[in-house]
Amino acid sequence: MTPELRGQLRLSLLRQADAASSRGLSLEVFAVGAKIIGIPCTPAEVEKEIEYLLDKRMLEKLHPPVSPELWRACIRAEGRDWLAQEGY
């Protein structure tokens, strides 16, 4: 993946998470959203960029109490602040 596509994927993930608010989205939903806007990526690439945004504290993982392996990710204040600073 080129650096430009990686940046577009990260932006897409943050914008999707912002639209979902506190409910969060699953890896599968993030991957479909990226493909819909034309970013050619695999679920593994999406997961890698979600992990990057988690490390940057722009996203947060939510683990349901019954099935913690079915995590979802939601946006954090740092992610919203970055989107606002960039004009999104």
pLDDT digits (tens, 9 = 90+) for 46-88: 999 999 999 999 999 999 888 888 999 999 999 999 999 999 9
The yes-or-no verdict on residue 22 having pLDDT over 90 is no
Name which of 7, 10, 5, 15 is nearest 75 in CA terms: 15
What global pTM score does this model have?
Answer: 0.92
State what percent of residues in the chain have pLDDT above 70.
100
Domain regions of the chain by residue span: 3-85
Name which of 70, 77, 73 is nearest 48 in CA terms: 73
Q: Classify domain 3-85 by CATH number.
A: 1.10.10.10
The yes-or-no verdict on residue 21 having pLDDT over 80 is no
